[in-house]
Amino acid sequence: MKKFAVICFISMISSAAFAADGAVLDRVLARTDAGLASMASRAAADIQVPEPSRASFAAAPAGVRLTDITDKCSKDGEVLSSYPEVYAKVPKDENMLVLKVFRFTARDGAERRIEVLLTGGDWMQYALIYVITNAGPDKNTANAYFMPRLSTPDKEEGAVAPEVDPHDAQKLVSFLTGEFLDLRGNVKPGFTSVAAATR
């Protein structure tokens, strides 16, 4: 009987303790839920991005876009130039080859053309490069520009590779649109014409 009374007494104390713990646990959970909700609300406020102004959507000025028309300008495997008068005035070695021909529309709406001329001797591993173009204010005048970065720095033997490989189409286009032409489709200052002809 004493054992039974002790067990009942322990059971009652345990139930009371669990009940008390349950109430405490409920209060803790309620506070935690409220805290989490508050934190979530603050986090949501922190990550809200203000609506951008119209100015931030303004398009960046588009650069000149070149179109490769080399195949259209070729006959029997040879590229035909639109500027034979200029080629007659360009300093060249025993070999001459039009490597690439591009067209583009300048900012004034007129179509322009770029021809990439390779010249050098048979003994030269790397060549000298000229760009012939009617880019500029007068579309009827074509100018030839020597391109040091596309050419071998060894003008005698041609044994040193150029800084920019003119045979790599992507690098060539990047050079022409990024360093040679400005956004209007004109030749940037710093490039000097070595020959010119007007149609």
Whether residue 67 has pLDDT greater than 70: yes
Q: What is the number of alpha carbons within 13 Å of residue 77 lying toward its C-beta?
A: 0
Residue 97 main-chain phi, psi, to 5 deg: -145, 130
Of 24-28, 58-62, 83-87, 173-177, minimum mean pLDDT range:
58-62
User: CB under 8 Å to 90, separation ≥6 — which residues?
Assistant: 117, 119, 130, 132, 144, 194, 195
Instruction: Report how far residue 157's alpha carbon sits from residue 36's, in angstroms, rounded to the nearest whole number.
Output: 76
pLDDT band at 26 (very low <50, low <70, confident <90, very high): low
Average pLDDT (39-47) is 43
Distance between CA atoms of residues 99 and 176, nearest Å:
14
Contact indicator for 132, 87 with CB cutoff of 8 Å: yes
Over range 78-82, report the average pLDDT: 89
> Are the beta carbons of 66 and 178 closer than 8 angstroms?
no
Euclidean distance between CA atoms 3 and 131, whole angstroms: 110
Convert the pLDDT of each residue in 124-177 to its tens digit. Answer: 999 999 999 999 888 899 999 999 999 999 999 999 999 999 999 999 999 999
Give me Rg for the CA atoms of the chain.
38
How much of the chain exceeds pLDDT 90, in percent?
A: 54
Band of pLDDT at residue 31, cut at 50, 70 and 90: low
Residue predicted with more confidence, 5 or 185: 185
Residue 61 has pLDDT above 70, yes or no: no
- In tens, the pLDDT along 100-124 reads 999 999 988 889 999 999 999 999 9
| DSSP labels, 127-171 | -EEEEEE--SS-TTEEEEEE-GGGS-S-TTT--S--SS-TT-HHH
Q: What is the pLDDT of residue 3?
A: 44
